[in-house]
Amino acid sequence: MRRILIVDDERHLRLLYRRELEDDGYQVVEAANAEEGIRAFEQQRPDLIVMDIRMPGMNGLEAMARILDKDRRVPIVLNTAFDSYRDDFTSWAADAYVTKGPDTEELRRTVRKLLEEREHLGPGEL
Amino acid sequence: MSEREIRTAASREQLLDLLDANGVQLALIGPGRKVLWASPSLLGTRGPRLIGGDCHGMLWRREADCRTCRREEVLSTGVTHRSWIPEGRGGAPGPRRLLVQVRVGPEEILEAVIDTALSDGEQAYEVFRERVLAEGLRHVPAGVLLLDRELRIVAANPAASALLGRGEWELRGAHYPAVFPEGLYPAADFPTPAELASHRPIEERELVLGSGLERRVVRACLAAVPGPDHGLAAAVAVLTDVTRQRSLNEALARKVGELTLLREMSLVLSRTARLDRVLRVVLAAAVHPGGLGMHAAALFLAEEGKGVLRGRLARRAPAATGPARRGAAGHELEALAFDPPAPADRAVETLARRLAVPLGQSGHPLVLALSGASPVQIYPAGALEAAEPALGPLLERCPVVLAPLIDQGKHLGVLLGAVTPGSGFPDEDELALAAMIASTAAGAVERARLHDALSDRLEELREASARVRNLQVQVLKAERLSAIGELAAEIVHQIRNPLSVVGGFARRLARHFPADDPRSEDVQIVLDETRRMEAILERIRQDVRLARAPAGRSLDPGDLVRAVVARYRDLALERRVRLSARVEPDLPPVVGDRDTMLEVLDNLLSNAFDAVGEGGKVTVRAQRLKEAVHLVVEDDGPGIAAERLEQIFEPFFTTKVGGTGLGLPLSKRLVAQCGGTLSADSRPGEGARFRILLRPQDTAGPVPGELPEETDDATDPDRG
């Protein structure tokens, strides 16, 4: 079963994403801030990370950079209320950029697509 | 003169003998009531200290009452007399005495006390008249005629003879009025002897004798000498040559007139600092009959920058209104200066304005005059026309006077005066007056120029300070907007997350209920409302994003209009809105950012579409007005009430359902960032018009902040 790490300071949003992604058949791990997210990544080794950007303390872009330092292959989806970070070149390192909204369809589609792409590549190719 | 002559008279000894013998006492009183001379009988009774002393109380103290001294009267009328009966020995009345006072010099009076009852009355008096007074008055500068009771001349002194141009003996026996040239002293005017006896002083008039250089103004004063019977015993006529005094008076009056004129002119000039008015006052003083009385006058001012002496103003003399007199009241000058010019004046004014003499032409009479080599220059008739034929209609072959306008060493211009024909060449006084008027004019012209320069600077300062104030307001508004933008962004962000949670869970619920479950509808409502809130947040997000757009590049206004209109074509078809674009050809590129301006125009068009509704009309225009390029979006919707026109650019003010109240304020700010302005006007009921002014790329500085007067209404088929 694919394991997905959700990093977001909004408890109910994490819960919503967990429910939706679990419905889609993934195992979900949660982290409430960037530091916790980095620790969770190291311990749980998720197949994909959904990362909020604006969080108290370290922001999502910095956390993404740290995680990519350790593992350049893990797909990361930036998930934020604003699309203004699209222009921030740091965000270009992400595999996808999804704007938050009540409709979780885009997020779920993106997650599915990224994980399928990874499937095709096979281990050791990156 | 009189004093010295009397003292040195050859006949003095003889005179004094006669005086003594006739009981006549004479004294000469000079300025300050000082006794200059007295006959021996007086000196004998009063002592030598009489000479040099005050006549009051010393001379006639026993006989005449000095408290009723008529010195001033004598000095003004020439002669006076009075008689009285002194108290004699033992209280009985003494013989009647007569005091005759005759002005013999400007401040000198010859006084005679005559004892009329010295011997046997009238006979002695006759002797006195014939021999004593005639002899005594021989050396008096005034003409003196002694007349009998029939007013026939019994004696005349040489001065009288000279004034009347007839010998002393020829005058004797002549009737007094008849000695004057025929018609000068009509007999009908002349009083009867009885009237003469009862009036004092009598009969005084000024008569002009002779003509040309021989012309004399003579003051004739006839004084009666009452006899013992109170009738007319005799009369004395004193003829004074006042020619010089009169001409002095005339000269004085003229000077006073000139001073009055200059003073009034200065007063009128002090009330205005406008150059054109100053020039008009100066010309009025030049042509006013009480001023220089010129036939025509013109003013030329030096324009250093252009190196020319240019005609500024000219005028002719007003139609004659009365005899010329020096001096003019200020209101007369003002009326003459500021009344609407006559057509003839307009013509000469135009004539003068066309004239510009290069300052390099040092030999030109006007340039020569400007150099100030002499305070006034005179050119004989025709001389100036020869140098400047264009001035012919103004000068009309009159002699010309040119006076430079020089103030504190600055050569400002030239005053030209054409001398009135028939008035003769101007005399020295008139030339001096011309120079003074020119000098007064120079001061006023310089003051007016400084004033103009100062007001220009002041106006610039005012404009600059208004611009600064305007900018301050804009900065404040922008800061406020910026703060509002940030706050809005924050609110959007903060609300979006919980909204996503609500919406997300509602969606999950909806998925889990079967379609026929009644709870499905409830959840659907939650979902719809969530979507609506999401839409509001999205609009705010868009508006806020507007505020972050860059500015300052170059763009083609026509392309901009066509691009934005293209975006709305489909919507126009759908809503049956008549959408048109009108782009003036050859518009210059403007300063601005294409995406930003598209957003702004998009916003304005969106508003216009909302305003007109189905079947309305929206027009987008690009045109050049004055310095700026105007992008105009106008609609024929309900329009905006005047009191709301200002508010629509305030954040959170909206009249639209679903409006955020941020679109227009942010649009305004974006346009301002591009160096332009956004404004709105409206005729309620007819529509609204939004106008973006952008600066063409080839001009410096911001576009004019104020909206220019609408000039295209009349030609615009869509309005009006």
B488-526, pLDDT tens digit by residue?
A: 777 887 788 888 888 888 888 888 888 788 888 888 888
Residues of A in contact with B527 (CB under 8 A): 102
Q: How far apart are CA B283 and CA B458, in angstroms?
A: 29
B621 — pLDDT class (breaks 50, 70, 90): very high
Q: Which of B591, B500, B474, B602 is nearest to B545 (CA)?
A: B602
What are the DSSP calls for A56-123, one per residue? SSS-HHHHHHHHHHH-SSS-EEEEES-SGGGGSGGGGGSSEEEE--S--HHHHHHHHHHHHHHHHH-T
| Among B218, B256, B249, B221, CA closest to B235 | B221
Specify the pLDDT at position B134: 53
Same domain? B235 vs B305? no
The mean predicted confidence, pLDDT, of chain B is 76
Same domain, B86 and B24: yes
Cis-peptide into B201, omega within 30 deg: yes
Confidence at residue B598, expressed as pLDDT on a 0 to 100 scale: 85
Beta strands, E only, B385-446: 400-407, 410-418
Q: Which of B444, B468, B495 is the last residue of a domain?
A: B444
When pLDDT is cut at 50, 70 and 90, the band that residue A112 belongs to is very high
* pLDDT surpasses 50 at B706: no
With an 8 Å Cβ cutoff, is A20 touching chain B? yes
**B226 and B298 inside one domain:** no
Domain total of chain A: 1
The crossing angle, in degrees rounded to 10, of helices B518-546 and B594-612 is: 130
Residue B401 backbone phi and psi in degrees, to 5: -115, 130
Query: A84 falls in which pLDDT band (50, 70, 90)?
Result: low
Phi, psi of B588 (to 5 degrees): -75, 155
Q: What's the whole-number mean pLDDT along residues B161-179?
A: 83
Q: pLDDT (tens digit, 9 = 90+) per residue, B290-305?
A: 788 888 899 999 988 8
CA atoms within 13 A on the CB side of B319: 3
Predicted pLDDT at A6: 96
pLDDT at B168 over 60: yes
CA–CA min distance B503, chain A (Å): 4
Nearest CA in chain B to A11: B501
Between residues B111 and B407, which one has the greater pLDDT? B407
Element housing B525 (H / E): helix B518-546
Same domain, B228 and B89: yes
Inform me whether the pLDDT recorded for B244 exceeds 80: no
**A14 SS3 class:** helix
Within-domain flag for A39: yes
> Per-residue pLDDT averaged across B91-100, rounded?
67
Taking an 8 Å cut-off on Cβ atoms, the answer to whether B503 and A102 are in contact is yes
Same domain, B302 and B168: no
Residues in CB range of B189: below 8 A, 6 or more apart: none
The answer to whether A100 contacts B507, with C-beta atoms less than 8 Å apart, is no
Percent of chain B with pLDDT over 70: 74
| CB contact (8 A) between residue A102 and residue B497 | no
Domain at B633, CATH number: 3.30.565.10
Residues B157 and B24 occupy one common structural domain? yes
**Ramachandran area for residue B90 (φ above 0: left; ψ -120 to 50: alpha; else beta):** left
For residue A15, the chain B residues in CB contact (below 8 A) are: 501
Average pLDDT, chain A: 85
Residue pair B264/B273 in contact by the 8 Å Cβ criterion = no
Of the candidate ranges B68-77, B88-97, B162-171, B560-569, the one whose mean pLDDT is the lowest? B88-97
| The pLDDT of residue B534 is above 90 | no
- Measured between beta carbons, the chain B residues lying within 8 angstroms of A19 are 508
Are B194 and B275 part of one and the same domain? no
Q: Given B497, B507, B534, which is nearest A13 (Cβ)?
A: B497
Spell out which chain B residues touch chain A, with contact meaning CB-CB distance below 8 angstroms: 489, 492-493, 496-508, 527, 530-531, 534, 541, 545
- Exposure pattern of B272-300 as b/e (b: 16+ CB <10 Å)? bbebebbbbbbbbbbbbbbbbbbbbbbbb
- Identify the pLDDT of residue A27: 95
Q: Is B676 exposed, middle or buried (0-12, 13-18, 19+ CB in 10 A)?
A: buried
CATH code for the domain of A65? 3.40.50.2300
For the residues B197-213, what does the mean pLDDT come to?
66
Kindly state whether residue A22 falls inside one of the protein's structural domains.
yes
Answer yes or no: are the C-beta atoms of B682 and B689 closer than 8 Å.
yes
Q: Are strands A48-51 and A76-80 parallel, antiparallel or unpaired?
A: parallel
> Using 50, 70 and 90 to split pLDDT, how confident is the model at B699?
low
- pLDDT tens track for B127-136: 455 555 555 5
Give residue A31's domain range: 3-121
Average pLDDT of the residues in A65-88: 81
pLDDT given for residue B343 in this prediction: 80
From the centroid of its chain, how far is CA B384?
A: 30
Q: What pLDDT score was predicted for residue B659?
A: 64
Query: Is residue A11 assigned to a domain?
Result: yes
**Nearest CA among B713, B296, B665, B704 for reference residue B483:** B665
**Which CATH number covers residue B143?**
3.30.450.20
**B47 Cβ contact partners less than 8 Å away, ≥ 6 residues apart:** none
Average pLDDT rounded to a whole number, residues B613-629: 88
Q: Could you tell me the pLDDT band of residue B717, with boundaries at 50, 70 and 90? A: very low
Please judge whether B504 and A104 are an interchain contact, meaning their C-beta atoms are less than 8 angstroms apart. yes
Residues A97-115 have a mean pLDDT of 87
Last residue of a domain, one of B394, B414, B444: B444
Q: What is the mean pLDDT of residues B327-336?
A: 76
Per DSSP, what are the bridge partners of residue B309?
B302, B357
In chain B, % of residues over pLDDT 90: 5
Strand boundaries in B64-132, DSSP class E:
79-84, 97-103, 109-115
Tell me, yes or no, whether A126 lies in a domain. Answer: no
pLDDT, residue B712, reads: 39
Question: Which of A19, A54, A102 is the closest to B530 by Cβ?
Answer: A102
List pLDDT tens digits, range B537-573.
Answer: 877 777 766 555 454 567 888 888 988 898 888 888 8
Residues B527 and B532: their CA atoms lie apart, in Å, by 9
CA distance B115 to B146: 18
Instruction: Please state, in angstroms and rounded to a whole number, the distance separating the CA atoms of residues B353 and B308.
Output: 12
CB–CB contact B500 A100 (8 Å)? yes
One domain for residues B132 and B225: yes
Partner residues linked to B303 by β-bridges: B308
Chain A: closest CA distance from residue B523 (Å) = 13
Q: Is A103 on the interface with B (CB under 8 A)?
A: yes
With a cut of 90, say whether residue A40 has pLDDT above it.
yes
Contact B496 A19 (CB under 8 A): no
CB B383 within 8 A of CB B368: no
* Closest chain B C-alpha to A56 CA, distance in angstroms: 13
pLDDT score for B471: 77
Q: Using the predicted structure, report yes or no on whether residue A74 has a pLDDT greater than 70.
A: yes
Q: What is the CATH number of the domain that holds B341?
A: 3.30.450.40
Q: Average pLDDT, stretch B643-653? A: 76
Structural domain contains residue A86: yes
User: In this structure, what token pair is assigned to residue B86?
Assistant: 């002194």
The answer to whether B403 and B432 are in contact (CB under 8 A) is no
- DSSP letters, B530-588, are HHHHHHHHHHHHHHHHHTT-----EE-HHHHHHHHHHHHHHHHHHHT-EEEEEE-TTPP
Q: Specify whether the CB–CB gap between B261 and B291 falls below 8 A.
A: yes
Confidence at residue B340, expressed as pLDDT on a 0 to 100 scale: 81
pLDDT at residue number B67: 61
Q: Which residue has the higher pLDDT, B4 or B168?
A: B168
Using alpha carbons, select from B635, B639, B664, B658 the residue that is nearest to residue B577. Answer: B635
CB B45 within 8 A of CB B58: no
Judged by DSSP in three states, B680 sits in strand
Nearest CA-CA distance, residue B493 and chain A, Å: 6
Find the DSSP H helices in B149-201. 158-164, 168-171, 193-198
Reported ipTM: 0.77
In this complex, is the C-beta atom of A56 within 8 Å of any C-beta atom belonging to chain B?
no
On whether residue A16 sits in a domain, the answer given is: yes
Task: Output the six-digit token pair for B288.
Answer: 């006013």
With CB atoms and an 8 Å threshold, state whether A16 touches B508.
Answer: yes
| Same domain, residue pair B230 and B308 | no
Better-predicted residue by pLDDT, B298 or B701: B298
C-alpha A71/C-alpha A123 separation (Å) is 13
Residue B15: which pLDDT band, with cuts at 50, 70 and 90?
A: very low
Let me know if residue B281 belongs to a domain.
Answer: yes
What does the pLDDT average to over B55-72?
A: 67
What contacts B10, CB < 8 A, 6 or more positions away? none
Segment B629-646 mean pLDDT:
87
At residue B119 the predicted structure's pLDDT band, cuts being 50, 70 and 90, is very low
Do B434 and B561 fall within a single domain? no
SS3 at position B231: coil
Number of folded domains that form chain B: 3
Per-residue pLDDT at B328 exceeds 80:
no
> Do the chains contact at B503 and A103, CB–CB below 8 Å?
yes
pLDDT(B88) > 70: no
For residue A24, which residues of chain B lie inside 8 Å, CB to CB?
A: none
Range of the domain at B602: 550-720
Handedness of CA B372, B373, B378, B384 (dihedral sign): negative
Within 8 A by CB and 6+ apart from B71, the residues are: B29, B33, B101, B109
Residues B430-455 pLDDT 10s = 788 888 888 888 988 888 888 888 88
Q: Which amino acid is at B554?
A: S
- Using the predicted structure, report yes or no on whether residue B367 has a pLDDT greater than 70: yes
Pick the residue from chain B with its C-alpha nearest to A104. B504
